[in-house]
Amino acid sequence: MNTDTTHILTASAPRKIGALDLLTSSLSHFGAYMNEAHSFDDVKTDKFFFRSAFGFDDGKDFDMAEFNRFFTAKSAQHDITWELAEIGQKPRVVILVSKHDHCLNDLLYRYRTQQLKIEIPAIISNHPDLASLAEWHGIPYYHLPITADTKPEQERQMMAIIQEKNADLVVLARYMQVLSQDICQQLNGWAINIHHSLLPGFKGAKPYEQAFDKGVKLVGATAHYVTPDLDEGPIITQCVETVDHTYSTAGLTEKGRHIECQTLARALQYHIEKRIFVDQGKTIVFANA
């Protein structure tokens, strides 16, 4: 029996007896085999969350339109909000970047080797430095310089490109500009950012130099959804590793960049696999490991 995953069903609803049974029995009714299933009751918000990745025996057809009609009628009794997706549809990801290339390089490698099953229709930067890297991958590169005076126009140009490319997701791969409240609201729920997580927190220029001077023992990174509150959006995933007194500033920086790459790629994977729910400013993440 070959039941490779072909579809993903996600759902949320008020906590109510029978919601989970309805979801699983509906999939069974259509002959689906659940290769992966997760559910969670948030007692505090009184909500229920569900994700299933499923497939079918060889040769079996799945009529998505028929399932949509069937489950729309059934789900109303439990106030279920749901989405059915085919995994073969690659999301279109526009990447924003400045001069640091480590996260972009990592994403492009995973894209090239199909570890990340995405399309990248555009890379946008406020600097020209990484144009050759985009060109080597055959990806259009848009250099949009920015100053305090030109920021509103630059962001209008940026959103025009994002919309023109029919982007499903925007990723800030070390884009060293603070997005305006207006563009954050336009990108709400479909833009991911990465930043370092050093304890104690060090803001502003040269954070790793500050961390070195304080003798930090933990270096990490946080990936989160973009909101108007700088670096305070719903957290998708975090990674951390220990360091010690033998690390130089350069060593801390190298370690931090490595963790940033891992964390951003993991967050992107979770998003495109529809593993993330945002519930009143925090996330429920049905991780696969």
**pTM for the model:** 0.93
Domain membership flag for residue 97: yes
Q: Are residues 67 and 128 in the same domain?
A: no
The residue from 86, 113, 136 where one domain ends is: 86
Q: Distance between CA 75 and CA 82 in Å, rounded?
A: 9
CATH value at residue 73: 3.30.70.260
Q: Are residues 31 and 152 in the same domain?
A: no
Q: Are residues 118 and 240 in the same domain?
A: yes
Residue 1: what pLDDT? 54
Domain membership flag for residue 234: yes
Catalytic residue status for 231: yes
Q: How many domains does the chain have?
A: 2
Domain membership flag for residue 104: yes
Q: What is the span of the domain harbouring residue 39?
A: 7-86
Residue 199: what pLDDT? 61
Q: Are residues 77 and 119 in the same domain?
A: no
Q: Are residues 126 and 20 in the same domain?
A: no
Domain membership flag for residue 286: no
Q: Are residues 115 and 246 in the same domain?
A: yes
Domain membership flag for residue 56: yes
CATH value at residue 118: 3.40.50.170
Q: Distance between CA 247 and CA 197 in Å, rounded?
A: 17
Q: Are residues 110 and 166 in the same domain?
A: yes
Q: Are residues 177 and 233 in the same domain?
A: yes
Residue 51: what pLDDT? 98
Q: Are residues 214 and 101 in the same domain?
A: yes
Domain membership flag for residue 2: no
Q: Would you call 71 exposed, middle or buried from its count of C-beta atoms within 10 A (0-12, 13-18, 19+)? A: buried
Q: Are residues 72 and 97 in the same domain?
A: no
Active-site residue identified among 42, 129, 168, 231: 231
Q: Are residues 79 and 120 in the same domain?
A: no
Domain membership flag for residue 282: no
The tens place of each residue's pLDDT in the chain, 289 residues long, gives 567 888 999 999 999 899 999 999 999 999 999 999 999 999 999 999 999 999 998 767 889 999 999 999 999 888 999 999 998 889 999 999 999 999 999 999 999 999 999 999 999 999 999 999 999 999 999 999 999 899 999 999 999 999 999 999 999 999 999 999 999 999 999 999 998 887 677 777 788 888 888 899 999 999 999 998 877 899 999 999 999 999 999 998 999 999 999 999 999 999 999 999 999 889 999 997 6
Q: Distance between CA 105 and CA 107 in Å, rounded?
A: 6
The residue from 86, 105, 128 where one domain ends is: 86
Domain membership flag for residue 149: yes
The residue from 86, 118, 150 where one domain ends is: 86
Q: Are residues 75 and 123 in the same domain?
A: no
